[in-house]
Chain A
Amino acid sequence: AQSVSQHNHHVILSEAASLELGCNYSYGGTVNLFWYVQYPGQHLQLLLKYFSGDPLVKGIKGFEAEFIKSKFSFNLRKPSVQWSDTAEYFCAVAGRTGANNLFFGTGTRLTVIP
């Protein structure tokens, strides 16, 4: 069965600190991987995605994620967070075949203290 695990439920950082949010997945096939962000009161927005090629993908707002196939991981990183990065972050996986359904992790709430 497909599953996505996000290890941190709530992360609190000071501005300029580095960020790494963990994501591991379980899926019996080739996958596409995503990070979505949900700012307070807003909808889910795509932060970055991995389909194929370079396992280090760069997204918007200085975020990047690395796909490590051997570890079934897709961790999100940012070298220096800002207060405006305060949001909920969701890792998601979709199989390469089928109806394109996304399976989400439980999310990680990031609070950045100015």
Chain B
Amino acid sequence: EPEVTQTPSHQVTQMGQEVILRCVPISNHLYFYWYRQILGQKVEFLVSFYNNEISEKSEIFDDQFSVERPDGSNFTLKIRSTKLEDSAMYFCASTWGLYSGANVLTFGAGSRLTVL
């Protein structure tokens, strides 16, 4: 069964450092997403991406965050200057279509980010 793969599985960084989390969505999918889950809290939407541009972003996704699809396979989330409160599990997800019957997201296993 096709999978969404994420790397690294766990990253520890110092506050203020830049972090790039990588995702390889399912190959025929067109819509890509990042979600995060702070320990003990709900899974929160960060950003959606389609046709090489951001479709929608939440208020969490401020100027410190950016996303990119640098080639045909990777989808990255960059945090420019990490803060303690960025510590969370970050989930990548993808789907091939938007509407009825198609909008089921497949999630990756997550990348745990720990900011010290």
Partners in one complex: yes
Residues on A lying within 8 angstroms of B by beta carbon are: 4, 32, 34, 36, 42-46, 49, 51-52, 90, 92, 94, 96, 98-107
Would you list which residues of chain B between 58 and 116 have a CB under 8 Å from chain A? Answer: 91, 95, 98-101, 103-110
In the bound complex, do residue B104 and residue A49 qualify as a contact, i.e. CB atoms below 8 Å apart? yes
- What total of chain B residues lie within 8 Å of the partner, measured CB to CB? 27
In the bound complex, do residue A104 and residue B31 qualify as a contact, i.e. CB atoms below 8 Å apart? no
Residues on B lying within 8 angstroms of A by beta carbon are: 4, 31, 33, 35, 41-45, 48, 50, 55-56, 91, 95, 98-101, 103-110
Return chain B residues, CB-CB under 8 Å to A102: 35, 43, 45, 105
Closest to B45 in A: A101
Given the complex of chains A and B, what is the CA–CA distance between A106 and B38 in angstroms? 11
Closest to B44 in A: A104
Given the complex of chains A and B, what is the CA–CA distance between A106 and B39 in angstroms? 11
In the bound complex, do residue A44 and residue B43 qualify as a contact, i.e. CB atoms below 8 Å apart? yes
Q: Answer whether A100 and B43 are a contact pair too, CB < 8 Å, given A42-B109, A43-B91, A43-B110.
A: no
Return chain B residues, CB-CB under 8 Å to A99: 31, 48, 50, 55-56, 98
A-B contact pairs, 16 of them (CB 8 A): A43-B91, A43-B109, A44-B107, A46-B104, A51-B101, A90-B42, A98-B56, A99-B56, A100-B31, A101-B33, A102-B35, A102-B43, A102-B105, A104-B43, A105-B42, A107-B43
How many pairs of A and B residues are in contact by the CB < 8 Å rule? Answer: 61
The answer, among B56, B100, B105, for a CB contact under 8 Å with A96, is B100
How far apart are B69's CB and chain A's nearest CB, in angstroms? 15
Closest to B40 in A: A106
In the bound complex, do residue A94 and residue B109 qualify as a contact, i.e. CB atoms below 8 Å apart? no
How far apart are B40's CB and chain A's nearest CB, in angstroms? 9
Q: Answer whether A43 and B100 are a contact pair too, CB < 8 Å, given A104-B43, A104-B44.
A: no
Given the complex of chains A and B, what is the CA–CA distance between A94 and B91 in angstroms? 17
Q: Answer whether A107 and B100 are a contact pair too, CB < 8 Å, given A43-B109, A99-B31.
A: no
